[in-house]
Structure 1
Amino acid sequence: MRKTKKKEKENTLNSPISGRVVNIKTKIGDEVKKGDVLLVIEAMKMEYIIRAPYNGIVKKINFKEKDLIEIGQNTLELSKK
């Protein structure tokens, strides 16, 4: 029997680090371009910037400012344009 991994949705952006969401630079429905800053996570007194990996539209934001986030958690959903 083969084990199959769950395929991660292409339109989800996961957190690369555990920390606190300190700034959300976008809102649902916003059109973003590749490289635009979407949100900022603070960990160990350093800020980690989450950027759009491609042009798209923000469909869902899963956190509010000041929320704690764990590594691998889905931060937001972005549909390709």
Structure 2
Amino acid sequence: MHDIRTELTASVWKILVPAGSTVTAGDEIMILESMKMEIPVEAPFSGTLTEVTVGEGDPIQEGDLLARITPDSDATS
């Protein structure tokens, strides 16, 4: 299982993929909002989105945990 963390201070605008879903590398899993800009958060590799640790509207700080993903057995991390 691998953590997906934010690289900026923002708020969670929209969660696009619920926990338990299968994702492909590059799929947008949520959108953050910072200074009126929308910043997509993409799956770094294919696998299962095991956990989403934030909710829509939550304020987040740099380094905060957003989600956890379990890679497919053939994915590289």
TM over 0.5: yes
Structure 1 position 32, deviation (Å): 0.1
Cα-to-partner distance string for 1:14-43 (whole Å, 9 max, x where unaligned): 001111100001111100000000111100
Structure 2: where are the runs of 5+ without partners?
Answer: 73-77
TM-score normalised according to structure 1 size: 0.85
Matched, 1:20 2:23: no
Q: In the aligned structure 2, how far is the partner of 1:78 from the partner of 1:68?
A: 21
Structure 1: where are the runs of 5+ without partners?
Answer: 1-9
Choose the corresponding residue for 2:2, options 1, 6, 11. 11
* AA in 1 matched with 2:64: Q
Runs of 4+ displaced beyond 6 Å: none
Structure 1 position 55, deviation (Å): 0.2
SS in 1 for 2:68: strand
Matched, 1:75 2:66: yes
Matched, 1:38 2:29: yes
RMSD value, Cα = 0.9
Cα-to-partner distance string for 1:34-54 (whole Å, 9 max, x where unaligned): 000011110011111100010
Q: Give aligned-pair identity as a percent.
A: 25
Give the number of the structure whose alpha-carbon radius of gyration is greater: 1
User: Superposition pairs for residues 40-59 of structure 1, below 5 Å?
Assistant: 40-59=31-50
